[in-house]
Amino acid sequence: MRTLQQLETPALLIDEAQMDRNIARMRAQLRKLGVAFRPHVKTNKSIDVSRRLMDSPQGPITVSTLLEADYFAAQGVTDILYAVCIAPNKLDHVARLRAQGVKLSIILDSLEAARLLAERAKARGERFDTLIEIDSDGHRSGVKPDDGLLLEIGRCLERAAIPVNGVLTHAGSSYDCPSPGAIRAMAEQERAAAVLAAQRLRAEGLGSPVVSVGSTPTALFAENLSGVTELRAGVFVFFDLFMAGLNVCRLDEIALSVLGTVIGHRPDKGWTLLDAGWMAMSRDRGTAGQAVDQGYGVVCDLQGRPLDDLVLVGVNQEHGIVAHRSGRRDGAPHLPVGTQVRILPNHACSTAAQFGHYEVLGAGGQVDARWPRFGGW
């Protein structure tokens, strides 16, 4: 057990008790909605965190890279969904994982990809578990649920004896919703699109038992998921300032922070300088488009309480610049050199990606454990 003062900074902190409360909130929502959970582990990238999310040691989980699939497979997880449209140069990697006994499902959203997959399956006698990605909001990728292309893709896979296991969608536009009511409406739009696509495929005899939806906002605000079989979400484990800006969580529910130390001042500018720059926080400025711009992060005391409206207004590679949100110089708080602060991140995924491990805070703010995490592709 260590104190925060014993840590070399910058360091990535998890408030374990708050993380557990966030997980309990999601599980309560899942019970209310009556759907299975396939948690997305791209945010945490840690078996120590993910074990708290999975229904069993074997999964299921969702990943965003095949390196994540490798890591979790090595930890005994065998039910994995790779939720990025497959690239042909990754099929050898997919085949290796499947040969190891991993039920690795892949997704696609084009006839071109379906034909490439069909050619490979026929040439090598390989089997793939496949879902078709559905565009439920025009945000990113996917096939429109009422597009004839959906059935063409399904038939192409079926002719190659590749089962259409179902459909998947992600309502990324929920991150642009201006109110909880708008998020609820987006959750219903997401559900309806996925269910319609599955119904159309089934009507053609194209399997589709799985209907997979989810993002943290829509997962927590959905009121009805009839016709959906599983839900995916990931950032809810930690939350972040962007989620707080959507009113999905409160600031005091953010379980992830970066510990930094004051290393200097620029009184003429009203600045306090930290040893936590963009290499610690990332360059994510997601809250700039929200009602409250949080800079590069909200500066808190060691108990996680915001300090006098101080934010990280600028970052260099290893330097963080703290100033009053208003920009005022006179009377700006003076934090002595050596003072430690905790900084709440804009985007938990991108901030966590800067670090190789978590320092886990237990009761009384003591550092009870160090949990490894990984990054890269």
Which pLDDT score, from 0 to 100, does residue 52 have?
A: 97
Q: Residue 332: pLDDT above 80?
A: no
Give me the domains of the chain, ranges plus CATH numbers: 4-10+248-372 (2.40.37.20), 54-233 (3.20.20.10)
Which pLDDT score, from 0 to 100, does residue 220 have?
A: 98
Q: Residue 330: pLDDT above 90?
A: no
Q: What is the mean pLDDT of the chain?
A: 96
Which pLDDT score, from 0 to 100, does residue 356 have?
A: 97
pLDDT digits (tens, 9 = 90+) for 59-113: 999 999 999 999 999 999 999 999 999 999 999 999 999 999 999 999 999 999 9
Which pLDDT score, from 0 to 100, does residue 211 have?
A: 98
Round to whole Å and give the CA distance between 190 and 213: 7
pTM: 0.95
pLDDT digits (tens, 9 = 90+) for 287-325: 999 999 999 999 999 999 999 899 999 999 999 999 999
Round to whole Å and give the CA distance between 97 and 127: 12
8 Å CB contact between 242 and 290: yes
pLDDT bucket at 38, cuts 50 / 70 / 90 = very high
8 Å CB contact between 361 and 13: yes
Round to whole Å and give the CA distance between 144 and 200: 12
**Other beta carbons within 10 Å of 282:** 23
pLDDT bucket at 123, cuts 50 / 70 / 90 = very high
The residue behind tokens 């602060």 is 341
8 Å CB contact between 272 and 312: no
**Residue 164 pairs with which residues in a beta bridge?**
130
Mean pLDDT of 239-261: 98
The torsion angles phi and psi of 65, rounded to 5 degrees, stand at -140, 155
pLDDT bucket at 353, cuts 50 / 70 / 90 = very high
Q: Residue 231: pLDDT above 90?
A: yes
Mean pLDDT of 192-217: 97
pLDDT digits (tens, 9 = 90+) for 140-195: 899 999 999 999 999 999 999 999 999 999 999 999 999 999 999 999 999 999 99
Distances (CA, A) of 57 to 72, 74, 94, 109, 357: 10, 12, 21, 30, 21
Which pLDDT score, from 0 to 100, does residue 108 have?
A: 98
pLDDT bucket at 363, cuts 50 / 70 / 90 = confident
Contacts of 108 (CB under 8 A, 6+ apart): 85, 86, 114, 117, 130, 132, 133, 153
pLDDT bucket at 260, cuts 50 / 70 / 90 = very high
| 210-213 β-sheet, strand order | 36-37, 230-231, 210-213, 164-169, 129-134, 103-108, 79-85, 61-63
